[in-house]
Structure 1
């Protein structure tokens, strides 16, 4: 799967999930406990990292170690 359009299409559900998590985090900032705010931020951050790694792997680029 080397074509950029194919890679983007294949990763679209994960990107949508990451974007939604970021939206939820931004809406919750200041209105939830600091612990919940941190949890939401970590979830969004994790998902965007997953998108990045998926795209790198799908394009055959060097990837970061998973451990």
Structure 2
């Protein structure tokens, strides 16, 4: 019984580790991809609310 419990806990930990690794890799690849385009998107602090008239500011770097 203890061996089955240990095996299931180890399996769950390895699965979670794999998901976090995949998410980290995807985040790094997407961050590099947006860095190559030279575009940045930001929202000012005054417009951070979810009002219908709020807009995003897009600026090109380079």
Higher relative contact order by CA 8 Å / sep ≥ 6: 1 or 2?
1
- TM band (smaller chain): 0.3 to 0.5
- Tell me which protein shows more strand as a share of its residues: 2
What is the TM-score with the length of structure 2 in the denominator? 0.47
Larger Rg: 2
- Tell me which protein shows more helix as a share of its residues: 1
What is the TM-score with the length of structure 1 in the denominator? 0.44
